[in-house]
Amino acid sequence: MFVVAMSTEASEMPRSRPLPAGRHGLSRAFVVSNQRERMLDATIQAASELGYARMHVEDIIKRAGVSRRTFYEQFANKHAAFLAAFDLAADMLMTAVRHAYERETTFERRVSAGFTAFLGALASAPDAARVCIVEALAAGPDAIERREAVTAAFAEAIESNAPDRPADDPLPPLTAETLVGGVYDIVFRRLCDGRAAELPALAADLTEITLLPYVGHERATAEAARLRAEGIGVAAASG
């Protein structure tokens, strides 16, 4: 999972504030940018709260605090706004993961850093997570294509970082794609159940499962154990 992640400084979707009423002396470019950010943030909120199918333009403009005219100056319809919001959220997610794994030098550490960043980012921005992983499936072929591009990038990152294997002992070509698909399914179910806060506790297990086919049981379990010893990927005790 190495294409999206949110660092501590950028773990939440930015929220632009409404501009002051009346004459404010701000440039037109700044005003337009501020309005766009608010509309994208509002689209993410509305899609997460209502679901893509039930979301309407009115839901977006109310949350953004803009007029209908302002909305249509930038977006043709709710679908265009959703795609732009997806692109923003996915880019932030992938950047966070990439920053995390690029700081590591071994495959095991890169996988664990990527999962830790990925799951932490989703938990810290659950509305954006739901847009990227859940609601994109309801938003039509072009949204699904975007979602699949992200999962393909994750699979490629795993493959490109994996250690070389003997020519006579290759892994099946679909190994990384299957692993990423399984991770997405696990995350999907928890997001649908409103359990985004539980996602970081999955880091050690998902790291171990992903490493197993590439580095074997001993190295995979050792890396997962290291995460657990550091308190990463450990469910909080109930009380």
pLDDT digits (tens, 9 = 90+) for 37-82: 999 999 999 999 999 999 999 999 999 999 999 999 999 999 999 9
Distance CA 82, CA 58 (A): 14
Name the CATH topology of 8-17+27-229: Tetracycline Repressor; domain 2 (1.10.357)
Domain borders along the chain are 8-17+27-229
Distance CA 152, CA 202 (A): 21
Q: How far is CA 222 from CA 75, 175, 182, 232, in A?
A: 50, 21, 22, 13
- Per-residue pLDDT tens digits of the chain, which is 239 residues long: 333 333 333 344 445 555 554 455 566 687 788 999 999 999 999 999 999 999 999 999 999 999 999 999 999 999 999 999 999 999 999 999 999 999 999 999 999 999 999 999 999 999 999 999 999 999 999 999 999 999 999 999 999 999 999 999 999 999 999 999 999 999 999 999 999 999 999 999 999 999 999 999 999 999 999 999 998 877 654 33
